[in-house]
Copies of this chain bind each other. A is one copy, B any other.
Amino acid sequence: MEISENALIKGIKRFETPSGKIIRGIGDDGAVVDVEEGSYVFVQDAMTEHIHFEFSFMDGYDIGRKALYINISDILAMGALPLYFMVTIGIPAKMSYKTIQRIYRGMRRAAREFNVSLLGGDTTEAKTDFFIDVSMVGKVVTKYYLGRNRAEKGDLIGVTGVLGESAYGLSLLREGRTGKGLMRFINRYRAPKPPYAVWKELVKHDITTSMMDVSDGLIIDLEKMMTESKKGARVNLDEIPMPRLLRKERKESLALAGGEDYQFLFTFLPDRRETITTITKMGFPISIIGEVVTGKGVRLFEKGKEKKVIQKGYEHFGGTV
């Protein structure tokens, strides 16, 4: 990079958002914040070059914005609203200051959308590959935090929005296809903004017994929820919401196992089905895809017949994909 660390930090300081609760921001050994009593959620999630993204598919702005979205998604999934974040970026020598500014601009965009403030972090050299690592804190706004561990037998399983769009977007980028009708998939891959409006409705109606975001893929994530809840799940493949194009191109697996959807997966009591219908009619799509049973793991059904689970989703380090 062509500027000094001091100059870089001065540049980053411009991305701070003033807040009466931040007593001391960037420029010291740490940030100081006035915190009120309550339950708080802490998350930390990174993106590394060549593993999570390529600069040929996303620019700095997209990367900064997405690094925030994936952390905001985790905070929301716990029933909390995001408040503050810190970020470490590992900067290889080849990276330009302009790219770094784009990364911070992308973060600022997402930070403004969700009213979360930058507290500081670290800027460091990286020998070869760029990485961005965001930590975030939010305050629980539900009666009891939402988690993966309270699904009960008989609960129905719901998911917001449409699955597979992001993974399909990535596959289009890899194939070099960027037609007009395809940009919405690519955009969902680049900027998976958490579906805040439907989240608000779910929280307002206090409807979920368990909740998580779909990041690694529907099946693997549902399996994680069932493990934490010590239950099993039956999923009806016909009900999984996906773009028509995926069924047409026989790429249904992207909706089941593609990952990076950043939609919300949740369980709820069957007698709340009507509330779900009401929320859906308000224009916030929710699909009821199955139910919680005793036992463990996830079983898939299509037109009443059981199907074998082949692809589960993304697991690092030689996992199941």
Interface residues of A (CB under 8 A from B): 1, 3-6, 8, 23-24, 27-52, 73-75, 77-78, 80, 84, 86-88, 90-91, 119-129, 131, 133, 135, 137-138, 140, 145, 147-149, 212-213, 228, 315-320
User: Chain B contacts of A52 at CB under 8 A?
Assistant: 124
State whether A90 touches B46 (Cβ < 8 A): yes
Report which of B3, B40, B133 forms a contact with A133, defined as CB distance below 8 A: B133
Q: List 16 other contacts, CB 8 Å, given A1-B318, A91-B317, A128-B128.
A: A4-B316, A4-B319, A6-B319, A8-B317, A29-B75, A29-B148, A29-B213, A30-B41, A32-B78, A32-B147, A34-B38, A42-B84, A43-B120, A47-B124, A52-B124, A127-B128
Smallest CB gap from A8: residue in B: B317
User: Chain B contacts of A37 at CB under 8 A?
Assistant: 35-37
Q: Known: A28-B212, A316-B124. Is A90-B48 also a contact (CB below 8 A)?
A: yes
Bound form: Cα–Cα A93–B162 in Å: 33
Chain B nearest CB from A11 CB (Å) reads 12
State whether B30 touches A74 (Cβ < 8 A): yes
Smallest CB gap from A223: residue in B: B6
The secondary-structure label for the interface of chain A is: strand
Q: Known: A43-B120, A77-B29, A86-B42. Is A51-B318 also a contact (CB below 8 A)?
A: no
State whether B6 touches A315 (Cβ < 8 A): yes
Provide 21 A-B residue pairs closer than 8 Å at the C-beta atoms, listed in order of the A residue. A6-B315, A24-B145, A28-B147, A29-B74, A29-B77, A29-B78, A29-B147, A30-B74, A30-B78, A33-B40, A34-B39, A35-B35, A37-B37, A42-B86, A42-B119, A44-B135, A45-B122, A46-B88, A48-B127, A51-B124, A127-B128
Bound form: Cα–Cα A237–B272 in Å: 74
Bound form: Cα–Cα A116–B119 in Å: 21
User: Chain B contacts of A5 at CB under 8 A?
Assistant: 315-317, 319
User: Chain B contacts of A121 at CB under 8 A?
Assistant: 44
Nearest 6 interchain pairs by C-beta: A135-B135, A30-B43, A50-B127, A128-B128, A5-B316, A44-B86
User: Chain B contacts of A78 at CB under 8 A?
Assistant: 24, 28-30, 32
Report which of B35, B39, B44, B88 forms a contact with A23, defined as CB distance below 8 A: B39
State whether B30 touches A75 (Cβ < 8 A): yes
Bound form: Cα–Cα A263–B228 in Å: 44
Bound form: Cα–Cα A48–B5 in Å: 16
User: Chain B contacts of A75 at CB under 8 A?
Assistant: 29-30
